Structure 1
Amino acid sequence: MQDKDKKIKLIVLGGPTGSGKSDLAVKLAEEIGAEIVNADSMQVYRRLDIGTAKPSAADLARVPHHLIDILDPDQEFTASDFRREAAAAIADIERRGKKAIVVGGTGLYIRALLHGLVDSPTGDPELRRQFDDVPGDELMRRLSLVDPETAERLYPNDRVRLIRALEVYLQTGRPISAYRSEHAFSEANYDALKMAIRVDRGELYRRTDLRVEKMLEAGLVEEVRSLLAAGYGRELKSMRSIGYKEVTAFLAGEMTLDEAVTLIKRDTRRYAKRQMTWFGREKDIYWLEYPGSFATILGHVIEFLA
């Protein structure tokens, strides 16, 4: 029987899109008898299959997966929701005598699960609306005046986080970095082995470009057309994700397919770069070379669990 004061041991696998996380997670899970908990913010949605690069039917059959296809495309899902649902899945896996491998590229979800969320004010939609037409560079300039620490970590195209930081300051008069500083001393929720796959940037970009081409071949345009026909509009968070928003614009006659593909590749590369930056800033993370060092990775995992 597990000591109630003893933290659950958790394997966490992150890294950029196209790095091979899902493949590695399945192989590790088979070796140690584990189950996988998805930490990708788009794979939680049903019907968004090709553009989110969900695990194949074969991989889903090989290893039990959790938090995949749990929502319709018009439902909201936040980091707080993920933390609650993932914690419940991990507890269930542990009760059945298994181990959980949390895998995904949504760094905020992983951080929320391991360390909780910053106790800052809840959102104010009316307050946020004043920033709707403000360019990213101007948002950065305003934030740098009141919270230079947060502004330094963000980019002009990261509108969600820029607006959130400004919103918190306007609500409280305190920068969100102050809340994060206080939160940094909170105790971790799990005893986690945090790993991420490192890929040379040139190779990573080659992989992401190839990944986009395979998505188009697999029927991404038809998938988006089906979602739109089912009433899932382009204003939804799920439909604004990379791949879906560009194909939606193509189907609306706003650009050619070649232009849409070029944008998808560009935005995927940019997203992968941001993911590498995010995980690069995480503490206590073990960087992996994969697939060349699987035996070494497995050895570290077994040693950690023992």
Structure 2
Amino acid sequence: MTSATDSPLPAVTRLIATDLDGTLLRDDKTLSDRTIAALTAADEAGIEVLFVTGRPARWMDVVTPHVQDHSLAICANGAAVADLRGGVLLRVHPLDRPVALTVVDALREAAPGVSFAVELSTGIHYEPAYPPFHMDPGATVAVAEKLLREETPGSGAPVLKILAHHPELAPDAFLALARDTAGDRASFTRSSPTALLEISGLGVSKAATLAACCAERGISADEVVAFGDMPNDVEMLGWAGASFAMGNAHPAAVAAASGVTLTNDEDGVAVVIERILATR
């Protein structure tokens, strides 16, 4: 594995795809002055910066002030494409509610003690046993089966993902169990240090939606540099022509990336962007 200073870069970099938490953002959930300057310089050089995150669009205010000419973001692990400047979802790749119900049933049987939250395009709702979302005080609290129920088929808001939390299982063990249990029905990943799984429609990932967005722009994988730190970044790191796991990254992200940069608190993304710009 090569470092941020000697890992090969694309001959031409047209797009930078970066995760947020644990990657672009410092541990205090802010952007450093150095990172802000690097993002601005990349945009001025004609390189599109695309934020690719597990966060819902409504939690993107931390980076919205730093959007330059390019205002798109991939949210909810690829389940949504948002216009940050306009504050709207442009595209969604939902998890079908009947499929979501079968996954909930399967995980309840395989991992007793699991609790669920349902992330809709309109907001999140969760079960009484699920850790509460203080950023979403208006959430409905009810069992997942009720949260997923529709009065008539197709009448409810799209389900972007299901979150599954377990109070005792180790995070990676819980992910492996879930994939073995229902990996043929949905996509499972994780980005939290706790046993919190993120469940999307089958085939939905950061990489899949990023590839589609790049194809629309005539940008090839070889012209993309990606950054990430957790299992939900693995497919994206493997897809991009050049990719960097953060110095604080999960081993799976390190294995998928073509290089390793400094930690998120050491401006690891900015270090590579500066190198990209220096070679132009």
Common fold by TM > 0.5: no
Determine which structure has more spread, i.e. the larger CA radius of gyration: 1
Q: Which has the higher strand share?
A: 2
TM-score normalised by L of structure 1: 0.33
| Structure of greater relative contact order (alpha carbons < 8 Å, 6+ residues apart) | 1
TM-score normalised by L of structure 2: 0.36
